[in-house]
Structure 1
Amino acid sequence: MTHQPHSSTSRTTSSSTPNSLTTGRRSATSRRTFLAGAAATAGLTATACSSGNDSAAGGSGPVTLQFWTYSLKGGDPNAQAIVDRYHELNPDVTVKLSEVGGTPETASKLLAADRADTAPDVVQIEYRALPALVVAGVVSDLTEQVSSAKSGAEDNIWSLCTLDDTVYGVPQDIGPMMFTYRKDLFDQYGVAVPATWAEYAAAAEAIHTADPSVYIASFAATQFEFFAAHAAQAGAKWWSNDGESWTVNLTDDASLATADFWQDLVRRDLVTVQPLLTPEWNAQVNAGKILSWAAAAWAPSVLYSVAPDTAGKWESAPLPQWTPGDSAVPFLGGSTYLVPAKSKHAEAAAEFATWLGASEEGSKLLLTLDIYPGGNGGREATLQSDPPRLMPQQTNFYEIADQVIDDTTITQTWGPNVNVATSTFGDALNEAALGGGSFRDVYSRTQETIIADLEKSGFTVA
């Protein structure tokens, strides 16, 4: 499972009308735009490839690829079987797995390795972290290398690792957004599965009224990526870039409507304010006190890992919508394989990454790691797979997920300082949720912090 929420200690619609957008939009014209970053990356790649790089598999002699990953774990027989299969297909290539932690740790270590000229050859990173690495010039342009493999995944999946029409990665796994819930307890309380967020709020009220110790869900303030996706579903674009300028906008009507939505549920005590995957949260999930999780198709595997005795009591459905009859959602989570600009074996690394993420065989093998492959081969194989262990009775789980992928037409652009946004937003929202502060103010303050950080980092902010 690639994308898991980070635990930390730290939906009725509102009738209030957000302020004019004229004070909510700020554009940043960068001295180092995406185009400049892409050009720098291309230059680094050309240098690396021209300085004695070994060629691809089957080229001039044996190649050892250093692979930084947190999905293919050393000692996992399934991961080893995948690597062994690639060795069988490419006898001159040896893939060495290194576990370097999640995305923040990996990104930091990659930047350090780039400066020290000790970069690995293939790196797994979450999609949201890719823009920052592109701007830093540490990622290779893979557009040409993956061109023959583009049919191995759908366009909406390739878009997750594409910036300014340049492909910087090969998709590993994806997170089609879904709503996973305790069907037995929803039935017990007479609550229907919500198709809209208004219905979600009504369900939250009905459940908590029936039993004040039970909540439809927890409000995990540190889940920045979820709140960004929720706002995107409502029509927001928190970052956008046209190659010359950045626009940062967390205070448009759509974003503030989502802030109001969650503030109302928190104020009425219809969601419990606490982080995910803590011992307390796990205990409440096991006890039937937290009844759902609006996340992605990877959520069942996480829930099963903390509450295996509840298997058979859960089901998953499409994510609630803002407008009845809509179906579009963004992806939530997932990761890509990139090739560092200073890889000593860039061509062989690109071949391995492409085989693993976008070939029929490679993406099917990723299924054995309990992730949702982005490649068509693995995605199609899910339709013949057993349901997740959390809901063995829901035989149509993967059919629903596959339709959600088709409906995933909302694209998100992550800014080069998403790490700053994540920490600022999570800390402030947690404080507001616990202390009764304004969620709107959190969104506004986070926007100002993002802009100030862009300026501090060398971007011109208008």
Structure 2
Amino acid sequence: MEMVPTNLTPGRRPRRASRVRAAALAGVVVGAFALAACGGGTSVGGSKDIADSDSQYGFKAETQGDSQITVWVDSTRQPAAEAYNKAHPDNPVKIVTYDGNANGSNSFKTKFQLFDRAGSGWPDVVFTTDNNSASWGSFDGTGDLAAMNKGLVPDDTLSGFADGALDVCTIDGVSYCLRNDLAQNVLWYNKKLMDQFGYTVPTTWEDYEALADKVATEHPGYIVGTAGDAWTPEIYMWAAECPANDVTGATSVTVDTSDPNCVKAAQMLDKLIANKTMSTLSLFGPEFAKTEGDKVLMLPGPSWYGGSVFQGTLKTPAGEIAAAAPLKWSDASDTSTGNVGGGAWWISSHSKNLAAASDFATWVTSQSSFDGTLAPTYPAFSSAASDWVAETQKSGYYANDISEPFQQAAGEVWSGWGSAAFSQEAIWAKVVQAGMTQGKTIESLLPAWQTEIENQAKTLGYEVSK
């Protein structure tokens, strides 16, 4: 499933965490979104370190020329590449389609490792539906990916992206991607049902929990959320600022699932699961639409739920679904939200035409539509996002103006949830979801979650601390 939009706003606000790292995931949402992060070491085979502070690009580039560039895209992004060719007839790119690294295929890394061994064959620009490529492709790591913010892409272009949008591919202050789209979490709700039941849309997680208690008593069968998918922690744990995935360096991560913020989120989920207002079915499984699809009162989740879940999978009629700003924990100083998606464009450090590669990547990320067709997902580039949401609003599907909550959420994605080389979603599915099917509470599974994160991190060479 394609993640549908999320972010707007040229207005930026200070980040609440000083370390630069993760925010979103993106593209296809089916199983595990491999969240991104860090690298370390030298190039593949250990032959060289291509970092070069004297270079105009910040790395040792190939001899440059005006050769045609090759661009790898998935089928969903193919129209964007074709639109670029139509708009630039004198400098067309060669388009190659591949799986987009979807569903943890790891094809981007695998293919680049083969090219590294052969010493040739690299494409110039690559799109991925996940964001973990900086973990292996930085010049501090394999050396395969070009630094964007060391001279390759103008600063005024980089500043046009939503606040925090490039965190997901930034390591030690160096950004390696241009974000295609965002997927920040908001509170979706059925306005028709909320009005019918006489309920007020909550603004805090405490109010949300209290309303769930009322729903359980007054309207049994209706649900206020789901905990049946692998990205559940990216919605509830991330929003609670649970330090389960705090990437603190190229090969270091802090994990503490016993933290009070993790515990309170787990306890809330357990309570709502117990009173049957929190579904444990997968949103895209065959049973959810059949048994609970018309019973969704509220649903915290990413912006793409609007088009993909409500309009697409559940076929909820127009004029019923609305979006509200992310919920806030009362004891938190600021509102924090999570992120479920958001793809990215990467430029190869081996490109012999970096100027053309940069022009392509900046063009496709700054458009709200391609050849007259609206982009399938909400752009990470702020001006494109503004245009995108304005056009989306014209569809008449939504019961309110979604632009304000989208815009607010875009600046509230907590940067303390990192982007590591391991997949939090795969770990959650293996440990927590599996335990839930055995009747265990999420709170009781927090220690096992901790252990599995530590094991996965250490296997990949991370130093783990609490």
Amino acid at match of 2:447: S
CA distance in 1, matches of 2:204, 2:438: 28
C-alpha contact (below 8 Å) 1:126/1:334 kept by paired residues: yes
**Contact 2:329–2:335 (8 Å) recurs in 1:** no
Structure 1: segments with no counterpart, 5+ residues: 9-31, 74-78
| Cα distance in 1 for residues equivalent to 2:460 and 2:300 | 34
What per-residue deviation string (whole Å, max 9, x for no partner) do you get for residues 87-111 of structure 1? 43352332414141553445x1112
Structure 1 pair 187–432 and aligned structure 2 pair: CA distance change class (3 A): farther
For residue 371 of structure 1, report the CA deviation from its aligned partner: 1.1
Kindly tell me the number of residue pairs found equivalent between the two proteins. 417
Asked if residue 443 in structure 1 is aligned to residue 429 in structure 2, the reply is: no
With normalisation by structure 2, the TM-score equals 0.78
Distance 1:170 1:340 in 2: 12
Q: Post-superposition shift, 1:409?
A: 5.6
1:417-456 equivalent positions in 2, closer than 5 A? 417=422, 419=423, 421-456=424-459
Pick the aligned partner of 2:298 from 292, 295, 298.
Answer: 292
Q: Is the 8 A contact 1:234 1:322 kept in 2?
A: yes
Moved more, 266-275 or 336-345: 336-345
Aligned residue in 1 for 2:214:
206
Matched-pair contact (CA < 8 Å) for 2:186–2:301: yes
**Cα offsets for 1:277-336 (capped at 9, x unmatched):** 1222123454x2233321122111112112335221111111221128943434432121
Deviations 1:54-82 (A, max 9, x none): x4xxx534x14132335314xxxxx26x6
> 3-state SS of the aligned residue for 2:164?
helix
Judge conservation of contact 1:65–1:121 (CA < 8 Å) in 2: yes
**Residues 294 and 461 (structure 1), Cα distance of their counterparts in 2 relative to 1, 3 Å cut:** closer
**CA deviation digits over 1:156-204, x for unaligned, max 9?**
2232332210010001111232111111112222222121112212222
Matched with 1:98 is: 97
User: Residue 255 of structure 2 is aligned with which of 248, 259, 271?
Assistant: 248
Does 1:353 pair with 2:351?
no
Counterpart residue number, 1:111 = 109
Q: 1:377 to 1:306 in 2, by over 3 A?
A: same
Amino acid at match of 1:100: D
More helix by share: 1
Instruction: Give secondary structure in 2 for the equivalent of 1:123.
Output: strand
Check 1:315–1:409 CA distance in 2 against 1; reply closer, same or farther (3 A cut): same
Q: Which residue matches 1:121?
A: 124
5 Å matches for 1:59-458? 59-61=65-67, 63-69=68-74, 71-73=76-78, 79=79, 83-89=82-88, 91-101=90-100, 103-106=102-105, 108-117=106-115, 118-126=121-129, 128-134=131-137, 137=142, 138-143=144-149, 144-148=151-155, 149-223=157-231, 226-237=232-243, 238-243=245-250, 245-284=252-291, 286=293, 288-302=294-308, 303-323=310-330, 326-343=334-351, 345-357=353-365, 359=366, 362-363=367-368, 365=370, 368-382=374-388, 384-387=390-393, 389=395, 391-394=397-400, 396-408=401-413, 410-417=415-422, 419=423, 421-458=424-461
Secondary structure at 2:186's aligned position in 1? strand
Q: Distance between the aligned counterparts of 1:154 and 1:230, measured in 2?
A: 22
Aligned to 2:11: none
Secondary structure, counterpart of 2:391 in structure 1: coil
**In the aligned structure 2, how far is the partner of 1:243 from the partner of 1:7?**
28
Tell me if the contact between 1:221 and 1:275 (Cα under 8 Å) persists in the aligned partners: yes
Is the Cα–Cα contact under 8 Å of residues 329 and 410 in structure 1 kept in the other structure?
no
Structure 1 CA distance for aligned equivalents of residues 224 and 381 of structure 2 = 33
Identity %: 17
Cα distance between partner residues in 2 of 1:364 and 1:5: 19
In structure 2, relative to structure 1, the CA distance for the partners of 1:312 and 1:349 (3 Å cut) is same
Tell me, in whole angstroms, the C-alpha distance in 2 between the residues paired with 1:264 and 1:246.
30
- The alignment partner of 1:275 has SS state of coil
Is the CA contact (8 Å cut-off) linking 2:190 and 2:298 kept in structure 1?
A: yes
Which SS does the other structure have where 1:384 is aligned?
Answer: helix
Does structure 2 conserve the Cα–Cα contact (< 8 Å) formed by 1:68 and 1:120?
no
- Give the partner amino acid of 1:242: G
When normalised by structure 1's length, the TM-score is 0.79
1:298 and 1:399 map into 2 onto residues whose CA distance is: 15
Contact 1:301 1:388 in 2 (8 A): no
Shift of 1:337: 0.8
